[in-house]
Chain A
Amino acid sequence: MTSSLKERLNYDKTFDCVQCGYCLPACPTYETMEKETHSPRGRINLVKMVAEGKASVEDLKEPIEKCLGCMACTTVCPTNVQYGEIFEGAKRVIDEERPRRLVEDFLFQSFFPSSKWMSTLGNATWLYQKSGLQKVSQRFGLTKRAPLQIHEFEAALPSMPTPKKRRRERVDRYVRKRPAVAKIGFFKGCVMDSVFFETNQNTVELLLRSGAEVVFPEAQTCCGALHAHTGKVDQSVELAKRNIEAFEEEGFDYIVNNAGGCGARLVEYAHLFDEGTEWYERAERFVDRVRDISEVLVGLDGLAFEKELSRTVTYQPSCHLRNVQKVTSEPLDLIKRIPGVELRELERPEFCCGSAGVYNIVNYEDAMDILDVKMQDVCGTGAGGVVTSNPGCQLQMKLGVEREGLQMEAVHLVDLLMEADPRPKW
């Protein structure tokens, strides 16, 4: 902690905000919480006030913790304010000021990034589903901290394959007999590779049918998004380095992921290092190759959709895919290719669903207010299903469907595509 509060809060960056208010109509929390304090302009101003000593870190806490980090504000800001950096700086300062929590430290320092963490988390989730998470979370002391509405999410989780099945079905290398059109390093993601194991398998299958070869580099680890969003910047830098290294081992054409939240972290790796340093260069080379699955499928153009699926769907883009990775048209393009699928677009696709990492667990009530706005839009389309591009959004949409008492499915784009059973074009 050698740098000054002003530096850590990115004080200089707050001056890019001219307080024009153009971001107000884009911000979900300003709409549902009805206060400038919960708007991008208000948050940036408060960070400035804290840096100038006119308010305390404590005053900043609630407004920052209630921010979804959806980055919708950055897509409309005419002066290109680096809200993401201001937000993360504020999170970090808040985290440093707070009394340490043993459970949280354990989770973030040991549990998530442990070498076997992916399967550990997978096993834990499976165990939870079999035995009820209430028990597990009681053991971790989570429920004492915040009354988690876990049971709500529980109903929305897909049924998990056993650890044994996952080990049996997963290999680390899918090589092709014919020359491959692209060599892909697959970033499997923590939640994706446990809870959404099937979706990952489907992703690999689509890539193979597109003519690519797929490798799971063994040394890969957590993307660090959760760490960064909870203010643990140093740990998230450590994780970034390990991933950069892991994907340097082989010459991949693309580093592909299928979770908007993880992808958004991966494309920001270069910002974690100082320009001109070796790690910055390595991060840039990494970032250059990061792609969302939808981009690669459109780019390779190796799939022929012939089977007809008769249904109407709407598409809820992951904020991190849309606002940070700027991937907007590819998922829509893919959905439109499936014969018999009618796409009815949302009126406000840019509006967050309220999932936002662990937001819907930590700020349950607020997340549900946001979800209600989203569901109104979803219902307005009259579609029979919602397609998403991030596991968190998918769970949240399932929850939304249940809360509204609807008969509607929520699926990951990749699973919808596999349902249409596309043929290789060649």
Chain B
Amino acid sequence: MEKWLEELQSLLPEGRVLTSLADRHSYSFDASFGEHLPDAVVQVKEKLEVADVLKLANRYKVPVHPRGSGTCLSGGPLPVHGGIVLDMSQFPAVIDLSPRDLTVKVTPSVLTGNINKAAEKHGLMYAPDPSSAHVATIGGNLAENSGGPRGLKYGVTKDHVLGLEVVTPEGEMIKTGGQTIKNVTGIDLTKLIVGSEGTLGVIVGATLKLMPKPPAVQTIMVAFDEVRKAGEAISQTLTSGILPAKMEFMDQACIVAVENFQPVGLPVDAAAVIIIELDGHPETLRVERGLIEEIMEEMGAKEIIIPKSDEEAAKLWHARKQVSPAIAKIKPTKVSEDATVPRSKIPDFMDRLELIKEKYGLEVVAFGHAGDGNLHPNILCDKRNVEEMKLVEKAVEDMFQAALDLGGTLSGEHGIGTMKAPFMELELGEIGLDMMKRIKDSWDPNGILNPGKVFPEKGQKLVLHHD
């Protein structure tokens, strides 16, 4: 056995360093692409254990890859350089609410959905609501700066973090930010860590901001017979003085995929649907709902559907949550992107996607948080088909180019990870990327924390096929 592994085993309680082949394979993947076998999986349950593991990793120059629930869509927790997978999911889950401060303290393994559930008991809410909130850890959400449908009105994870407890790559414990709503003491390290994809530190605790739970919600679904019309209707709504909590978009292929799996009566003959959620006081909702109906009719909506009960509304939102996995039924491999464009450019981006689809003859579907310009174009393919995968690589590149041409960005919420690293320079320019890299290098001088992510390695290209 290698020396570092032996020492690692003596550092942690028995049974928490996993080295059997079955265990190693079980932490070799996430919800994206690629599979990389780690040498060991370490299940940490205390802050000090995290610090110990990182110190050892620095001494032996062994890479450490933090992992939550492994639902990442960009390869963030993959041990691309072997070494250690640091399993954060078994950290004791603690949710410590301070209802009077409207804050909550959590440990990294807490499932995001449970934070909101706990807050609701006090008439509060934790606003960020990624579709995967019932499975993903808050640690993963913070590392990816995840967002969800409610991001349109309430922002994404970073807008709800007051302070963090972090173990630095060299194994030192620090606190960033605090528990107050306002805080301008020095450079904002909290915002630096949030979204750093596990490359600048391991998050071991967080203080999050809660909000009053809106007293009522109103769901409206609108169907269109042209995708462009749907895109225009979104812009029209957002410039009319109404800010819905959510405005979600699904194209026809997504609608059909969900209906095939769990039929809820979505209009399968529509080219696209928008599902809207308004929240606020019931009186306001009544007025806003009327206004939205007017706008949608003016914009040539094919059908406006108002759910008759809370259960019916819940079904629609459940259907929306199922899109991402359900489209995988179309073909076995799903290459999922989340390029984001300025909201007014959504219709143009859709047109570009259509062109890409035709150019390569691939299955391309799109859904997402259209209200904030964050679309999820997905290419459905079969990774056993080498020729097809080569086309997919080209199509992905075209998609990124299209988003950037329209003034957008590579990723709205899923992160860069391994998959988008090769395109970083395209968006940031050489110097921009280098400034980022300098931050990384000064925080992690030995380059042991989550290497192979965010920053492209020399000559790295997007490779989705195996010859």
Chain A residues near B (Cβ < 8 Å): 15-16, 18-22, 24-25, 34-37, 39, 42, 45-46, 49, 54-56, 59-60, 62-63, 77-80
| Interface presence of B314 (CB below 8 A) | no
A49 to B322, CA, bound (A): 27
User: Whose C-beta in chain B lies nearest to the C-beta of A49?
Assistant: B25
A236 to B90, CA, bound (A): 39
B320 to chain A, nearest CB (A): 12
Q: Could you mark each residue 134-156 of chain B with 1 if its beta carbon is under 8 Å from any beta carbon of chain A, else 0?
A: 11100000000000000000000
A66 to chain B, nearest CB (A): 11
Chain A residue numbers with a CB within 8 Å of B136 are 21
Q: At the interface, is chain B mostly helix, strand, loop or mixed?
A: mixed
Q: A19-B30, A21-B69 are in contact. Are A80 and B22 (CB under 8 A)?
A: no
A15 to B384, CA, bound (A): 10
Q: In the complex the two chains form, is A63's CB within 8 Å of B322's CB?
A: no
Chain B residue numbers with a CB within 8 Å of A39 are 26
User: Whose C-beta in chain B lies nearest to the C-beta of A64?
Assistant: B22
Q: A25-B134, A59-B20, A78-B322 are in contact. Are A18 and B25 (CB under 8 A)?
A: no
Q: At the interface, is chain A mostly helix, strand, loop or mixed?
A: loop
Q: In the complex the two chains form, is A63's CB within 8 Å of B70's CB?
A: no
Q: Could you mark each residue 1-36 of chain B with 1 if its beta carbon is under 8 Å from any beta carbon of chain A, else 0?
A: 000000000000000001011110111111100000
A15 to B331, CA, bound (A): 9
A7 to B423, CA, bound (A): 39
| Interface presence of B111 (CB below 8 A) | yes
| Interface presence of B43 (CB below 8 A) | yes
User: Whose C-beta in chain A lies nearest to the C-beta of B325?
Assistant: A78
A281 to B27, CA, bound (A): 43
Besides A21-B31, A21-B69, A79-B328, 14 new A-B residue pairs in contact (Cβ under 8 A), listed by A number: A19-B29, A21-B70, A21-B136, A35-B18, A36-B70, A45-B25, A46-B22, A49-B25, A59-B20, A60-B22, A63-B22, A78-B325, A79-B261, A80-B329
Q: In the complex the two chains form, is A18's CB within 8 Å of B18's CB?
A: no
Chain A residue numbers with a CB within 8 Å of B20 are 59
10 smallest CB-CB distances across A and B, nearest first, come from: A78-B325, A42-B26, A15-B332, A36-B26, A37-B26, A18-B328, A59-B22, A21-B71, A21-B135, A20-B325
| Interface presence of B344 (CB below 8 A) | no
Chain B residues near A (Cβ < 8 Å): 18, 20-23, 25-31, 43, 69-71, 87, 90, 111, 132, 134-136, 261, 322, 324-326, 328-329, 332-334
A36 to B23, CA, bound (A): 8
Chain B residue numbers with a CB within 8 Å of A56 are 21
A25 to B71, CA, bound (A): 13
* Candidates B26, B87, B261, B326; contact of A45 at CB < 8 Å: B26
A45 to B43, CA, bound (A): 20
Q: In the complex the two chains form, is B132's CB within 8 Å of A20's CB?
A: yes
Chain A residue numbers with a CB within 8 Å of B326 are 78-79
Chain A residue numbers with a CB within 8 Å of B25 are 42, 45-46, 49, 54-55, 59
Q: In the complex the two chains form, is B71's CB within 8 Å of A34's CB?
A: no
Q: A19-B31, A37-B26 are in contact. Are A80 and B21 (CB under 8 A)?
A: no
A223 to chain B, nearest CB (A): 29
Chain B residue numbers with a CB within 8 Å of A59 are 20-22, 25
Q: A25-B111, A45-B29, A78-B261 are in contact. Are A55 and B43 (CB under 8 A)?
A: no
User: Whose C-beta in chain B lies nearest to the C-beta of A39?
Assistant: B26
B16 to chain A, nearest CB (A): 10
Chain A residue numbers with a CB within 8 Å of B334 are 18
Q: In the complex the two chains form, is A79's CB within 8 Å of B70's CB?
A: no
A353 to B89, CA, bound (A): 24
User: Whose C-beta in chain B lies nearest to the C-beta of A24?
Assistant: B135
A24 to B324, CA, bound (A): 17
Q: A37-B22, A42-B26, A63-B22 are in contact. Are A21 and B43 (CB under 8 A)?
A: no
18 contacts between A and B (CB under 8 A): A16-B329, A19-B31, A20-B132, A20-B325, A21-B31, A21-B69, A21-B132, A22-B135, A24-B135, A35-B18, A35-B23, A36-B23, A37-B22, A37-B23, A39-B26, A46-B22, A63-B22, A79-B329
Q: In the complex the two chains form, is A79's CB within 8 Å of B325's CB?
A: yes
User: Whose C-beta in chain A lies nearest to the C-beta of B23?
Assistant: A37
User: Whose C-beta in chain A lies nearest to the C-beta of B323?
Assistant: A78
Chain A residue numbers with a CB within 8 Å of B43 are 34-35
A24 to B325, CA, bound (A): 15
Q: In the complex the two chains form, is B329's CB within 8 Å of A36's CB?
A: no
A164 to B329, CA, bound (A): 57
A323 to chain B, nearest CB (A): 16
User: Whose C-beta in chain B lies nearest to the C-beta of A19?
Assistant: B31
A24 to B70, CA, bound (A): 10
Q: In the complex the two chains form, is A35's CB within 8 Å of B71's CB?
A: no
* Candidates A16, A25, A62, A77; contact of B22 at CB < 8 Å: A62
Interface centre among A25, A37, A56, A62 (most CB of B within 10 A): A37
User: Whose C-beta in chain A lies nearest to the C-beta of B332?
Assistant: A15
Q: In the complex the two chains form, is A34's CB within 8 Å of B90's CB?
A: yes
User: Whose C-beta in chain A lies nearest to the C-beta of B90?
Assistant: A34
Chain A residue numbers with a CB within 8 Å of B332 are 15-16
A56 to B333, CA, bound (A): 25
A49 to B22, CA, bound (A): 9
A80 to B257, CA, bound (A): 12
Chain B residue numbers with a CB within 8 Å of A18 are 31, 325, 328, 334
A49 to B261, CA, bound (A): 27
A18 to B329, CA, bound (A): 9
B30 to chain A, nearest CB (A): 7
A77 to B90, CA, bound (A): 22
Chain A residue numbers with a CB within 8 Å of B322 are 78
A92 to B142, CA, bound (A): 43
Chain B residue numbers with a CB within 8 Å of A24 are 69, 135
Chain A residue numbers with a CB within 8 Å of B27 are 36
A78 to B31, CA, bound (A): 14
A78 to B260, CA, bound (A): 11
Chain B residue numbers with a CB within 8 Å of A80 are 261, 329
A56 to chain B, nearest CB (A): 8
Chain B residue numbers with a CB within 8 Å of A19 are 29-31, 70
B264 to chain A, nearest CB (A): 13
* Candidates B26, B70, B71, B333; contact of A46 at CB < 8 Å: B26
A46 to B87, CA, bound (A): 18
A19 to B135, CA, bound (A): 12
Chain B residue numbers with a CB within 8 Å of A60 are 22
User: Whose C-beta in chain A lies nearest to the C-beta of B322?
Assistant: A78
A46 to B25, CA, bound (A): 7
